Structure 1
């Protein structure tokens, strides 16, 4: 699974934090490791320098073999919270999408 993390110009990004975040994402999506080919992560600061509660937004798009891409978004007060919230949503969406696929094959 190839993971690409993108941030806007309001978010400080460094290799150490990206590696830590990538590892957290891999742990959350471990059971889909063989199915997901690419995971694109975009983190942006909605309010910019004005700040505010839960103003960080993370969108994730998972490309999975055999099904249309799954895209989700979540908000958080920190980059980590926004990303982990989006990762949880990807897991739920993939469970739903792949569950529907196996139901079709089973009938």
Structure 2
């Protein structure tokens, strides 16, 4: 599973931060490793100059082998919560998608 982390100009996307995001995704999605070929992560700070509630956004798109990509987004007060929320949503969508296919 390839993981690509992208940040906007308002988020510092240094190597350590990217490594932490990748580790979190690998930990949660490891059991889907044979189905997920790629995960793209887009992290942004919607209004960095003003601050505010739930202005950190994480969008994740997973490419499932032989299927259409699935995408989720989560907004929160800080980056860690936005990333964790998106990972949890993505896990649920993948479980649901693969579960439906197993039922047919």
Q: Which runs of 4+ in 1 moved over 2 A?
A: none
CA-CA distance at 1:62 after TM superposition: 0.1
Count of aligned positions = 104
**Alignment gaps of 5+ in structure 2:** none
The residue correspondences of 1:17-28 to structure 2 (distance < 5 A) are 17-28=17-28
Question: Which residue does the alignment assign to 1:66?
Answer: 66
**Alignment gaps of 5+ in structure 1:** none
The residue correspondences of 1:1-20 to structure 2 (distance < 5 A) are 1-20=1-20
Question: Which residue does the alignment assign to 1:49?
Answer: 49
CA-CA distance at 1:79 after TM superposition: 1.4
Q: Deviations over 1:7-54 (max 9, x none)?
A: 000111210111111101110111111111010000111112101111
CA-CA distance at 1:66 after TM superposition: 2.4
After superposition, the CA RMSD in angstroms is: 0.9
Q: What TM-score do the two structures reach when normalised by structure 1?
A: 0.92
Larger radius of gyration: 1
Find the aligned partners of 2:25 and 2:84 in 1 and give their Cα distance.
Answer: 7
Q: What TM-score do the two structures reach when normalised by structure 2?
A: 0.95
Paired residue secondary structure (2:31) = helix
